[in-house]
Amino acid sequence: MPTDLIPHPGPANIDFAPGAGTVAPPSMETNAQPTIRYRVDSKNQLISVSDEWIAFAAENDGESVAPDLVLGKNLLAAISDLTLRQLYLQLVALARLGRPARFRFRCDSPGFRRLFEMTIRGQEGGVVEFSSVLLESESRPEVALFDFHQARNESFLRVCSWCQRIAVGTSWLPVEEAVDRLGLMHQPTLPSLTHGICEKCNSEMLAAIAKLGRSGTAEPA
């Protein structure tokens, strides 16, 4: 199964929903953009995906993520990067405690830089819903590295699930710079992408998770 099932969260700006037991704000529901939703059960198995998710997956990852192939799979176990999986486990655990998280992340297409906002919140019986909405989209020259149609080779590049920068040596670079630095422009095949999280986004997320954990015991604002 694909390891990258979901629009990847990432904090361009971290904005956790305030207070214990609050639900996502009404703006999430009234936003004109389609909301991409999916839900996992108490064992983190995918139990539903919205039509928007199906459309998004087909557009971004190809047919390999058809819903009948992913329903019933353990969403979090499918995340190969341990740091990333750990973050999700914490977010999902907090959601089940009635502490929904809301944050922004980049999820680009080849021709667009895109900023999404994701909300993770708990429902009855340990079910957790992930919902994402597109906030901003800015066109740019096509980046083949983000095009799933491109032929891939055996090598891998790590992409940060939050800011979409690419790991090059010890640095994380915007994709255009990474392509340039690695000389990928004229390669017949491109490295495959694997999702992780950069140190900056990880430390921001850990700080936000700690804050979210504390806010659960504080008086609601």
What is the contact surface with Zn ion in residues (CB under 5 A)? 160, 162-163, 198, 201
How far apart are CB 174 and Zn ion at their closest, in Å? Answer: 11
**Residue with Cβ nearer Zn ion (118 or 201):** 201
**Residue with Cβ nearer Zn ion (55 or 207):** 207
**Residue with Cβ nearer Zn ion (36 or 201):** 201
How far apart are CB 164 and Zn ion at their closest, in Å? Answer: 7
Give the DSSP letter of residue 141: S
Phi and psi at residue 107, to the nearest 5°: -145, 90
**Residue with Cβ nearer Zn ion (75 or 201):** 201
How far apart are CB 85 and Zn ion at their closest, in Å? Answer: 16
**Residue with Cβ nearer Zn ion (79 or 163):** 163
How far apart are CB 96 and Zn ion at their closest, in Å? Answer: 26
β-bridge pairing 190-196 and 152-160: parallel
Cα(83)–Cα(17) distance, rounded to whole angstroms? 23
State the CB neighbour count (10 A cutoff) for residue 118: 23
DSSP letters of 7-52? PPP--SSB-PPPSTT----HHHHH-SSPEEEEEE-TT-BEEEE-HH
Give the number of residues written for the chain: 221
Assess contact for 195 and 158: CB atoms under 8 A.
Answer: yes
- Check the CA dihedral 121-197-108-41 and report its sign: negative
How far apart are CB 185 and Zn ion at their closest, in Å? Answer: 23
